[in-house]
Amino acid sequence: MKRLLPALAATGAMLVAAGCCGRRATEPPASPPPPGAVLPRSAFSVGWEVLKVPASFQARRSDSVLVRVRNESDSTWPDRAMADPAASGVRAVRLAHRWTALGATAPPPFGTSRMDLPAPLAPGESVDMLVPVEVPAVPGHYTLELALVQENVAWFADNGGATLAIAVRVN
């Protein structure tokens, strides 16, 4: 036993000197949330960039916009498979959009049309998304607003996250 204690002490000293597994004891391990987990409030920070928008949209047509979505939070956003594939992606992070006529007193609610992330999005990562939209039937000036939601949990905007508003003309 007396011979074993010095050997254990030396091994422990080497582990401490090496940082024990490459991380400090005060750093939490980086791991994605478990399937179906509710994101913490700190996970709702998002950055947006418009990459391509038509000069104008044609009424009653389908079109698309290209945007970059950046995870500016400290948590991985789950895609459909990571969230809970057995429950159709419940608690997945999805992109939604809505149209608001210029001068409207209150925006309509976001529709049920959602777009899944192509993969889980880790902190600091971004993804370019080609978002299909159904253009309003009435010509005029509109705002096309894009937002993220953790399905069946919360809208990012309700937790301090940004939405993206794009002013557009519908002919």
Ordered by where they begin, the domains of the chain are 4-170 (2.60.40.10)
User: Beta partners for 48?
Assistant: 69
- Global pTM reads 0.76
User: Beta partners for 65?
Assistant: 131
pLDDT digits (tens, 9 = 90+) for 110-127: 877 899 999 999 999 999
Supply the pLDDT for residue 11.
38
pLDDT digits (tens, 9 = 90+) for 13-43: 333 333 334 334 444 444 555 556 789 999 9
Q: Which residues contact 123 (CB under 8 A, 6 or more apart)?
A: 71, 72, 73, 74, 75, 76
